[in-house]
Amino acid sequence: MATLAVNGGGGAAAATHTQAYLEGRAVKETRVLISELCRHFYTLGWVSGTGGSITIKVHDDSIPKPQQLILMSPSGVQKERMEPEDMYVLSGNGTTLSSPSPKPYPHKPPKCSDCAPLFMKAYEKRDAGAVIHSHGIESCLVTMINPMSKEFRITHMEMIKGIKGHGYYDELVVPIIENTAYENELTDSLAKAIDAYPKATAVLVRNHGIYVWGDSWINAKTQAECYHYLFDAAIKLHQLGLDWSTPNHGPTRNFKLGLGSNGNVNTSAKAVTEGSDYGSGLFPRCIVLDIEGTTTPISFVSEVLFPYARDNVGKHLSVTYDTAETQDDIKLLRSQVEDDLKQGVAGAVPIPPGDAGKEEVIAALVANVDAMIKADRKITALKQLQGHIWRTGFESNELEGEVFDDVPEALEKWHSLGTKVFSFSFSFSCRYGSQFCVYHLVVCAIMLFLLNVV
């Protein structure tokens, strides 16, 4: 074993740097302890694939805690196969005093844990006696349930009592920081989380794992076990549709709608977002939004879209007359007008045959459409043509959509959460007839069931 003796510090600190102390009983026992704990953590899935790490201070009543030696596991090694002599020994300020000797191929050259700078932050800011870094799957998955959340919160669970400073009725809050490509790049964000959450004894790293510290290795290990239990419980409660963050752990998948000031149901995008269970990390996989009054003001439809369609019937038919789509619209209108003439519907006028002049056909179509609009008829022939006119208007930039201010923010949030968003206009579908409206509603109900329940 290669050893580097470091002078300086004076008194008790200097005594820990001597060769005799480095080879003494306290250091040897801590080396053995780390190798034993890593073998145990491997069986729990915390340090598989060379991931995860652990560090423990060498306890010595004669040495002030900040000056006690620090032992750390190496990086990139099979943690379950580590031997006591594989550990690094550092001074209280993080200077390497002793490093392991290289091993033959296929072992990599020895390297101190990549977690070293993060471990040192826990020692400096929390006066910790040990720090555990786990890659346990529970600590990884629990950060994915709500990708927007910066905290994990849970309450009224017996194992919360195993976390320092917490009881059964307390709310346990664990900060979540974002992962980076390299471990040492997490140092600043972990330090900020430690400062921002003075009661916390752990920090979660999204899609990665957790750092847990304690006054001693026993305290750190106990808390790490409790954290993993609580994360596993939260995941299982989530799968059952129950809310782990509330005292009664009741259902969370109910889709709540806010109430407007007049007591009516508020179905705006903002109300849907704020009324849903996003705070608990549980949210629907699919949202179906109405258009009029939910994403778009009703006035936009009545004051912009309808007048535009009425004023541009002739222009639209003239420009697109020879297209298959418009010919299909004309065929549908002819059929409707023929029925209207038979039934004596007011405003219906005969449409010349197809071999008549284009202008004559369009003039008759405009007259019939104008009568249909004035009568506010809910018929497919009219609605299909209006839809095509509006599309042409949007494509030519003569029409510009209007949505409520909170809609873009809500859509971006749902998209980032992986929630699928669909639009459905109840009022528009009803204009096509009651049968079509009922059919559309049934389709939406089936879709919601399949996406949110199955």
Q: What is the per-residue pLDDT for 8?
A: 45
pLDDT, tens only, 207-258: 999 999 999 999 999 999 999 999 999 999 998 888 899 998 887 644 343 3
Residue 278 has pLDDT above 80, yes or no: no
Q: How would you classify residue 293: left for phi > 0, otherwise alpha for psi between -120 and 50, otherwise beta?
A: left
CA distance 280 to 362: 58
Q: What is the pLDDT of residues 328-363, one digit of tens each?
A: 999 999 999 999 999 999 989 999 987 888 899 889
**Token pair of 301 as six digits:** 């439809």
pLDDT tens readout for residues 31-57: 999 999 999 999 999 999 999 999 999
85, 158, 398, 409: the active-site residue: 158
**Which range, of 89-98, 396-405, 430-439, averages the lowest pLDDT?**
430-439
Question: For residues 186 and 207, is the Cβ–Cβ distance under 8 A?
Answer: no
Residue 224 corresponds to which amino acid? A
- What does the buried/exposed string (b/e) look like for 110-130 if buried means 16 or more CB atoms within 10 Å of the residue's CB? bebbbbbbbbbbbbeebebbb
Domain boundaries, the chain: 20-240, 298-452
**What stretch of H or E contains 33?**
helix 25-44
**Distances in Å between the alpha carbon of 349 and those of 198, 337, 340, 399?**
80, 7, 9, 30
- The letter for the amino acid at 27 is V
pLDDT grade, residue 284 (50/70/90)?
low
From residue 4, give the alpha-carbon distance in Å to each of 113, 116, 382: 18, 18, 89
- pLDDT confidence of residue 14: 63
Query: Any known ligand binding at 115?
Result: yes
Single-letter residue type at 227: Y
Give the pLDDT confidence score for residue 175 in this predicted structure: 97
Percentage of the chain exceeding pLDDT 70: 82
Q: Is 178 a catalytic residue?
A: no
pLDDT of 413 > 90? The answer is: no
**Confidence band (pLDDT; 50, 70, 90) for 291?**
confident
Higher pLDDT, 278 or 316: 316
Q: Is residue 210 within 8 Å of residue 203, measured between CB atoms?
A: yes
pLDDT bin (cut points 50, 70, 90) of residue 369 is: very high
pLDDT at 295: 86
Chain mean pLDDT for the chain: 85
| Cβ neighbours, 10 Å, residue 393 | 18
38 is annotated as contributing to ligand binding: no
3-state secondary structure of 352: coil
Instruction: Categorize the per-residue pLDDT at 279 as very low, low, confident or very high, splitting at 50, 70 and 90.
Output: very low
Element housing 360 (H / E) = helix 358-374
Give the DSSP letter string of 269-311: HHHHHHHSTTTTT---SEEEE-SBTTTB-HHHIIIIIHHHHHH
Q: How far apart are CA 195 and CA 172, in angstroms?
A: 17
Dig out the tokens for 210 from the structure: 């957790």
- Does residue 437 surpass a pLDDT of 90? no
Tens-place pLDDT, residues 146-192? 888 999 999 999 999 999 999 999 999 999 999 999 999 999 999 99
The CATH architecture to which 298-452 belongs is Orthogonal Bundle (1.10)
Planar angle of CA 203, 208, 212, nearest 5 degrees: 30
pTM above 0.85, yes or no: no
State how far the Cα of 329 lies from the Cα of 335, in Å rounded to an integer: 10
Written as one letter, the residue type at 412 is: E
On whether 135 is known to bind a ligand per the annotation, the reply is: yes
Report helix, strand and coil shares of the chain as percent, to nearest 5.
50, 15, 40
Q: Which one is the CATH code of 20-240: 3.40.640.10, 3.100.10.20, 3.40.50.300, 3.40.225.10?
A: 3.40.225.10
Q: How does pLDDT run across 109-118, given as a tens digit for each residue? A: 999 999 999 9
- DSSP assignments along 199-265, one per residue: T-SEEEETTTEEEEEESSHHHHHHHHHHHHHHHHHHHHHHHTTB-TTSTT--B------EE-TTSSE
